[in-house]
């Protein structure tokens, strides 16, 4: 396919999204099934166009004066990819399979894609209704934080020390040009190509034998700051597919007992194969069984309870750019109520002197510090472990993390702009 034909395909897919309001990955998959002549390179390039447009949807619409799919794609080429008017006109020249020629109005707008007078949510490319929440967290810096969230994310890997050492994996994957992580001693980072295409990692021997897992460096940091110790009793209360469960098991060196639970048994389905591949032996998966309390025997016994809380996912917009436009205020209210319930339930498992590590991939204080403040009001026997103490789990790198992150009385907030990771909030509280 020509670059112009790929552009037309991206416009068609965005039109489908506008009508059917579903995840972009589903529309891309359907398009690929209907256009089997398109090779893997074509599909990757089209996906890159679609996701880049969603990343900069607000600013592209502002520049073009329209939120129609064609306008959004053309605007993205200017505001994100930096193409000038002539370059865009060569793509949209009206030839076979190419978008129609630029109109006079489109040419005028693309000649000067200026955002200087745009409101913050346009410059930062996020929904207007989220502006007050982001302003409470970041103030005037919310535009820069939003722009960082609108950039592409790299591919981050976590070395599984149960199988291999970081230096050995770095050498084994040298052909992918990985770089050591900035803060996590277990992280390797692979930059994607110019079209955002990731290498076929799951076919690599290092992945097949369990030496690496795909995991953002911020998620790795959250597991490390939780402070799981070899030989400890640990409960991963929202284990899901097991990403942080695997990280905890590695940090515990397969010693002690780690319980993995999730309220939705369907989310636990991938964890069994992942545990086996990673050579994890100290995890016991607990699945819900009707009205039975399958965790009752753990009450008052846990050294650590990890809550990887369900949240709005605002910190993962780099990887899920369509999610920020599908999110609605009602979803935030539901998540806040759910988080409060999970925090209250977690307290019953913690022994005296034990800890709860509360983690979200959200940037909103309503889901982060406010939840911890509310929990402490109703649980006076808990107190915050100071962030300075928490970051020491990273050794000397921890001080660098503390300086880069946004620190509050309750915890640390990592962001793409500040720490180069996805957005993660980490707070640790201890039972006196």
Please report the domains of the chain, with CATH numbers, ordered by start residue. Answer: 3-112 (1.10.940), 120-432 (3.40.50.150)
> Is residue 356 classed as helix, strand or coil in its secondary structure?
strand
Question: Nearest 5 degrees, angle CA 404-CA 406-CA 408?
Answer: 135
Q: What's the pLDDT at 199? A: 87
Token output for 386:
């100071």
258 close to 245: Cβ distance less than 8 angstroms: yes
> Is residue 42 classed as helix, strand or coil in its secondary structure?
helix
Residue 409 CA to residue 371 CA, distance in Å, equals 13
pLDDT tens track, the chain, 432 positions: 999 999 999 999 999 988 888 888 899 999 888 988 888 889 989 999 999 999 999 999 999 999 999 999 999 999 999 999 999 999 999 999 999 999 999 999 999 999 999 999 999 999 999 999 999 999 999 999 999 999 999 999 999 999 999 999 999 999 999 999 999 999 999 998 766 678 889 999 999 999 999 999 999 999 999 999 999 999 999 999 999 999 999 999 999 999 999 999 999 999 999 999 999 999 999 999 999 999 999 999 999 999 999 999 999 999 999 999 988 889 999 999 999 999 999 999 999 999 999 999 999 999 999 999 999 999 999 999 999 999 999 999 999 999 999 999 999 999 999 999 999 999 999 999
Q: What is the pTM of this model?
A: 0.94
Catalytic residues: 361
210 close to 273: Cβ distance less than 8 angstroms: no
DSSP 394-410: GTHHHHHHHHHSEE-SS
Q: What's the pLDDT at 194? A: 67
In the sheet that holds 187-190, the strands lie side by side as 179-180, 187-190, 155-159, 212-214
Q: What's the pLDDT at 195? A: 67
Q: What's the pLDDT at 121? A: 97
Residue 280 CA to residue 285 CA, distance in Å, equals 12
Determine if residue 262 is labeled as part of a ligand binding site: yes
Residue 28 CA to residue 14 CA, distance in Å, equals 9
Determine if residue 236 is labeled as part of a ligand binding site: no
Write the CA distances from 258 to 72, 75, 383, integer angstroms: 47, 49, 24
Q: What's the pLDDT at 18? A: 87
Q: What's the pLDDT at 193? A: 73
Helices (H), 299-395: 323-326, 329-346, 369-378, 387-390
Residue 26 CA to residue 33 CA, distance in Å, equals 11
130 close to 119: Cβ distance less than 8 angstroms: no
């Amino acid at each position: 396919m020509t670059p112009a034909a790929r552009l037309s395909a991206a416009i068609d897919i965005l039109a489908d999204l506008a009508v059917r309001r579903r995840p972009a990955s589903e529309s891309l998959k359907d398009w690929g099934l209907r256009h089997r002549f398109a090779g893997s390179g074509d599909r990757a390039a089209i996906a890159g166009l679609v996701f880049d447009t969603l990343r900069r949807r607000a600013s592209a619409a502002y520049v073009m004066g329209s939120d129609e799919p064609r306008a959004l794609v053309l605007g993205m080429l200017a505001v994100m990819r930096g193409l000038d008017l002539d370059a865009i006109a060569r793509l949209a020249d009206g030839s076979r399979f190419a978008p129609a020629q630029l109109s006079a109005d489109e040419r005028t707008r693309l000649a000067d894609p200026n955002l200087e007078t745009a409101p913050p949510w346009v410059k930062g490319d996020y929904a207007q209704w989220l502006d007050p929440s982001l302003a409470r967290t970041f103030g005037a810096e919310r535009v820069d934080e939003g722009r960082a969230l609108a950039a592409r994310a790299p591919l981050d890997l976590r070395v599984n020390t149960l199988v291999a050492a970081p230096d050995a994996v770095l050498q084994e994957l040298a052909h992918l040009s990985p770089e050591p992580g900035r803060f996590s001693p277990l992280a390797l980072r692979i930059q994607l190509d110019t079209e955002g295409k990731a290498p076929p990692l799951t076919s690599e021997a290092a992945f097949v034998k369990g030496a690496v897992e795909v995991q953002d460096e911020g998620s790795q940091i959250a597991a490390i700051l939780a402070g799981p110790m070899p030989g400890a009793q640990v409960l991963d209360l929202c284990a899901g597919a097991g990403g942080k469960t695997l990280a905890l098991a590695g940090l515990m060196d397969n010693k002690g007992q780690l319980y993995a639970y999730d309220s939705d048994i369907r989310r636990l389905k991938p964890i069994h194969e992942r545990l086996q591949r990673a050579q994890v032996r100290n995890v016991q998966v607990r699945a819900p069984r009707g009205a039975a309390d399958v965790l009752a025997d753990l009450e008052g016994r846990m050294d650590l309870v990890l809550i990887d809380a369900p949240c709005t996912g605002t910190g993962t917009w780099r990887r899920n750019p369509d999610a920020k436009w599908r999110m609605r205020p009602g979803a935030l209210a539901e998540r806040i109520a759910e988080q409060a319930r999970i925090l209250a339930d977690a307290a019953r498992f913690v022994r005296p002197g034990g800890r709860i590590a509360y983690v979200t991939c959200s940037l909103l204080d309503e889901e982060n510090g406010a939840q911890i403040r509310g929990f402490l009001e109703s649980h006076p026997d808990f107190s915050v472990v100071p962030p300075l103490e928490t970051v020491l789990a990273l050794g000397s790198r921890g001080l660098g993390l503390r300086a880069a992150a946004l620190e509050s009385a309750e915890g640390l907030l990592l962001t793409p702009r500040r720490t180069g990771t996805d957005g993660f909030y980490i707070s640790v509280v201890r039972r006196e």
